[in-house]
Amino acid sequence: ELSKLPRLIAADDQAEIQRLLQHCADPNHLIGSGGSDGETAAMQAAALGKRQVLALLMANSWPRPRVQIDREDSSGNNLLHYAARSCDPGTVEDVLRRDSSLAAKRNAEGKEPAQVAASSCPTSDVYRLLRIHQGERFGTLWSGTAMAADTPAVARADLLHDLLQAIDDDDAIATRN
């Protein structure tokens, strides 16, 4: 029955997926090219932006196994790389909430999820979301006295604008090179 999983995910058939999961279907089951590429059901749901299906797969209820959030396919792509391809900010946020460290992971091509988003959906908010997350992760956005709790909201907004402008400038330079 697990062979139906890719079709059910693509069709957003949550009821049938739920039925499979209740019968202990493993959400880490390899799908795709006969499972040879290492793509899991959760990865497919993330790539398609199927948030409700992804939530079903990531739900932790006994006796089902949990989704291995940090699992990589044969190309080194993790769940966040797949979510970045969806061009759906909500899907990316859902994965980031589960494991924000995935944003720093590079695939076999050396690309972080933000770079995957830039090539998959360059006009999407997904790229900006991931780049802002990178800024937070490295402390460039929220560290120091400039972003202290007592800093006025207008000043924080100005700093965020400056950070986004710097990201855009950096990306323009990288694109030219």
- Report the alpha-carbon distance of residue 133 to residue 84 in Å, rounded: 13
Structure tokens at 134: 């990178």
Q: What pLDDT was estimated at residue 1?
A: 66
The pLDDT tens digits of the residues spanning 126-166 come to 777 777 776 655 444 444 444 444 545 555 555 556 666 66
Using pLDDT thresholds of 50, 70 and 90, give the confidence band for residue 102. Answer: very high
Mean pLDDT lowest among 17-21, 116-120, 137-141: 137-141
Q: Are 49 and 86 in contact (CB under 8 A)?
A: yes
Percent residues over pLDDT 90 in the chain: 28
* Nearest alpha-carbon partner for 57 in 86, 108, 98: 98
Structure tokens at 65: 């196994």
Determine the Cα angle at 129 with ends 56 and 170, to 5°: 150
CB hemisphere CA count around 163 (13 angstroms): 23
Average pLDDT over residues 50-55: 93
